[in-house]
Amino acid sequence: MALLLKVAIALVVLVYPIAIYFGLQYLQPKYLAISLAALVILRALFTNNQLLKAVKGLWVVILVVGLTLAGFSYFKNTDLGLKLYPVIISASFLALFSYSLFKPPSVIERLARLQDPDLPPDGVRYTRAVTQVWCVFFVFNMTIALYTVFFSTTEIWALYNGFISYLLMGVLFISELAYRKWVLQKGGD
């Protein structure tokens, strides 16, 4: 049951911008703010990722900021807090990945060690560099997401935060995977 709930929460997070876009067509922002508050609370309750818990206070900060945004949108009946949530998500990933650079192992190294527990020093350096690339991506993504909140339409906000940002993440992930599989492995042959 807990796994099913975690999957449902992950799906809601993924479709959040599109859900907010369509929700705003029919509902006042304050009603959607209640949904955001529920989502933030559920994510905090059902997150058991050890890496996320290792960053002391990060989930508390995400919970407080998320509930503050939901409360702001509820009491002001504005979509501003609702639209800022993707910015907070990017900021939290940036904090998590950055923290891991200062308190090794890096996020990507931890993931790599799931497949290869005896990661060589070259692998550690490489995973650290990939973690740095992801940090740059999260800064970029957070900046564009913030721009869409204040300087674009709700349609553009939903398009970027609900599709383009995921597409960019996918391109970065696949590019790194291709680089690692074809370029680095050929160099090791």
What pLDDT digit, counting tens, does each position of 165-187 carry? 999 999 999 999 888 888 667 65
- Residue 117 DSSP label: T
pTM of the model: 0.89
Mean pLDDT of 55-76: 88
Q: What is the pLDDT of residues 118-174, one digit of tens each?
A: 999 999 999 999 999 999 999 999 999 999 999 999 999 999 999 999 999 999 999
Distance CA 103, CA 150 (A): 34
**How large is the greatest C-alpha to C-alpha distance in the chain, in angstroms?**
62
- Picking from 8, 32, 37, 30, the residue whose alpha carbon sits closest to that of residue 21 is 32
Backbone angles phi, psi at 63, to 5 degrees: -60, -50
- Picking from 23, 16, 52, the residue whose alpha carbon sits closest to that of residue 145 is 16
Q: Which pLDDT value is given to residue 51? A: 56
